[in-house]
Amino acid sequence: MAHGSAGRGSRGCERPLQLLLLLLVLRHSRPSAGFLHVKMAGTTQTVLLNNNATIFCQIYGHPSLNITIMGITWFWKGLGSPTEVKLYEFFGGHQMTARYGAVVPPESLERGNASLLLPRVQLREAGEYRCEVVITPYKAVGRIKLEVVASPVSSLFPEQAMVKENQKTLILCMSSGFHLKNITIRWRKLSQKDPQEVSEGIVTNYTIENGMLNVTSFLMLKPSLEDSMTIYQCMVYHKFLPTPQKLNFTLTVIESEKTDFNLKGIPPYIEAISALLILFFIIILLIIIFFKKVLPMLVREEYTQVSLPGAETPGAEPAAGCATLEVRAGCHSGGQSTSDGGRAAARQALSQTNPLSCILKASSQNTQTSTEEIEVLSL
């Protein structure tokens, strides 16, 4: 049993020893001199961002492709970096990967296909890739550059609009999600006649977000009625677009109202202050009219009908103003009657006198007359 155990132990050590010897042979193998070759897909491969990439490497020239004695190693060197990084290694049926998802399928390797599969490639993975194949005692090496690109995604805002004639209208054509700045945006006017290139009223703006470029082209229009139902087209050209992206905008123009008073742009507080000022001036105007016109008429009408006690003479007309009151006050004080000539003079004076001041004056005179009568009686 001791011998059996020793035999099983020696057989268990044979496989690691064979693998070690294979690694040593592969490491010291010399490049092929006509017996082993690899073929790459040109000098540069291009892949779209977030797509799966297959970096091509085809083995040929060796009569036997036994994967148990074959070694495959893939190296990567980033753009501007002097250092290579080992991404994937296959020796004697064992695989090692330093990049998630990187693989060389063994079934493809048996057919001489040592291509490296990379899922969802990112921009940072661009650079130089090296495929190294070893079949003892030969070694073959191939290099290729990988270019990761992102084509723009474009949109137009708005897609259609209805505006009044001579009203300024802004159209936006936006492209985003690309990393090479060699992009061109053009505008065309598609009328019933031949398409016309638009070159005026265009502003283009570039921004960078998360390492990706975004570009927005603004087209300012001031259309007339003749431009109604005109189609404006935004065309996006990019290196990795097989054909230009074309987006259309339809413009409808209506006639503007001639009596339309546009208050847009005036702050609300300005409108409120203006309304209050107008109301204030109306109130002031009404007050001035009242004191100058209405109030004197009311006072004159009120006091022309007032007769003081003891101031009326039988057969005489009612007091009509200041002159009549003064005459009557004189009659009471002197015991004499007012003549017709006196009444005429009083009426003329009344027309030139303020009724309120007259009635106060007449009242004062009558009060004085009553006081004199009381003094006579007491005597």
Please list, residue by residue across 172-189, b when 16 or more beta carbons sit within 10 angstroms of its beta carbon and e when fewer do.
ebbbbbbbeeebebbbbb
The per-residue pLDDT for 131 is 97
The per-residue pLDDT for 96 is 93
Closest C-alpha to 219, from 200, 193, 246, 242: 200
Q: Domain of 186: which CATH number?
A: 2.60.40.10
Q: Which residues are paired to 74 by β-bridges?
A: 88, 131
Q: Let me know whether 129 and 241 are in one domain.
A: no
d(C-alpha 306, C-alpha 328), whole Å: 13
Q: Let me know whether 20 and 97 are in one domain.
A: yes
Q: For helices 322-334 and 340-351, give the axis angle rounded to 10 degrees.
A: 140
Q: Let me know whether 85 and 144 are in one domain.
A: yes
Q: What is the pLDDT along the chain (379 residues), one digit of tens a residue?
A: 333 434 444 444 444 545 444 445 445 444 444 589 999 999 999 998 899 999 999 999 887 788 888 899 999 999 989 999 999 999 888 899 999 999 999 889 888 999 999 999 998 999 999 999 998 889 999 999 999 988 899 999 988 888 888 888 899 999 998 877 789 999 999 877 778 899 899 999 999 887 788 999 999 998 888 888 889 999 999 988 889 999 999 988 888 775 444 445 566 778 788 888 898 889 988 888 877 777 777 767 666 655 444 444 444 444 444 444 444 444 344 444 444 555 555 555 545 555 545 544 554 555 454 444 444 344 4
The per-residue pLDDT for 261 is 44
Domain boundary among 119, 149, 179: 149
Q: Let me know whether 241 and 212 are in one domain.
A: yes
Q: Let me know whether 159 and 198 are in one domain.
A: yes
- β-pairing verdict for 230-238 and 160-164: unpaired
The per-residue pLDDT for 146 is 96
Q: Let me know whether 202 and 312 are in one domain.
A: no
Q: How many CB atoms lie within 10 A of CB 354?
A: 14
Token duo for residue 159: 């897609």
Q: Let me know whether 59 and 142 are in one domain.
A: yes
* Domain of 186, in residue numbers: 153-254
The per-residue pLDDT for 361 is 53
Q: Let me know whether 19 and 119 are in one domain.
A: yes
Domain boundary among 115, 131, 149: 149
Residue 300 burial (10 A CB sphere; 0-12, 13-18, 19+): middle
SS (H, E, C) the chain: CHHHHHHHHHHHHHHHHHHHHHHHHHHCCEECCCCCEEEECCCEEEEECCCCEEECEEEECCCCCCHHHEEEEEEEEECCCCCCEEEEEEECCEEEECCCCCECCHHHHCCCECCEEECCCCHHHCEEEEEEEEECCEEEEEEEEEEEECCCEEEEECCEEEEECCCCEEEEEEEEEECCCCEEEEEEEECCCCCEEECCCEEEEEEEECCEEEEEEEEEECCCHHHCCEEEEEEEEECCCCCCEEEEEEEEEECCCCCCCCCCCCCHHHHHHHHHHHHHHHHHHHHHHHHHHHHHHHHHHHHCCCCCCCCCCCCCCCCCCHHHHHHHHHHHHHCCCCCHHHHHHHHHHHHCCCHHHHHHHHHHHHHHHHHHHHHHHHC
The per-residue pLDDT for 357 is 53
Domain boundary among 149, 178, 210: 149
Measure CA 210 to chain center: 20
pLDDT, one tens digit per residue, over 185-210 is 999 998 777 788 998 999 999 998 87
Structure-derived torsion over alpha carbons of residues 11, 13, 17, 18, reported in degrees to the nearest 10: 30
Token duo for residue 88: 């994937």
Q: Let me know whether 29 and 112 are in one domain.
A: yes
Q: Let me know whether 47 and 67 are in one domain.
A: yes
Q: Let me know whether 168 and 187 are in one domain.
A: yes
Q: Looking up tokens 């073959």, which residue turns up?
A: 140
Number of domains making up the chain: 4
Collect all residues with Cβ–Cβ distance below 8 Å to 262 and sequence separation of at least 6.
Answer: none
Q: Which residues are paired to 236 by β-bridges?
A: 185, 245
The per-residue pLDDT for 54 is 96
**pTM attached to this predicted model:** 0.50
d(C-alpha 134, C-alpha 89), whole Å: 11
Q: Looking up tokens 């036994």, which residue turns up?
A: 66
Q: How many CB atoms lie within 10 A of CB 321?
A: 23
Q: Let me know whether 211 and 279 are in one domain.
A: no
